[in-house]
Structure 1
Amino acid sequence: MEWRESAHRCCRRFASGQDFALNRELSEQHDLPLSLVYQDTGFVFALKKTDLRGELPRGFVNVTAQRKRWLFSSIELKKRNARMKDALDETLIMSDKIIQELIAEIVDVIGALYKASEAVAIVDMLWSFAHASILRDYVRPEFTGTLAIKAGRHPVLENVQAAGTLVPNDVYCCEASSFQIVQGQNMSGKSIYLRQIGLLTVMAMCGCFVPAEYGSFRLHDALLTRLSNDDDIEKSLSTFANEMASCAMIVGL
Structure 2
Amino acid sequence: MGKNLKSRERLRPVDLARGHGLSTQAVRNYEEAGILPAADRTPHGYRTYTSLHARALRAFLALVPGHGHRTATSIMRAVNQGAVDEALRLIDESHVQLLEDRRTLQAVERALRDLEPTPVTGAGPEGMFIGPLAAKLGIRPATLRKWELAGLVRPRRDTRTGYRVYDEADVRDARLVHQLRRGGYLLVHIAPLIAQVRAAGGLEPLEAALSDWRGRLSARGRAMLTGAAELEAYLGEHAPTGGARAFGS
Q: TM-score range by the shorter chain?
A: under 0.3
Question: What TM-score, normalized by structure 2, do the two folds share?
Answer: 0.24
Kindly name which structure, 1 or 2, has the bigger radius of gyration based on alpha carbons. 1
Instruction: Specify which structure has the higher proportion of strand.
Output: 1
Question: What TM-score, normalized by structure 1, do the two folds share?
Answer: 0.24
Q: Which has the higher contact order (CA 8 A, sep 6+)?
A: 2
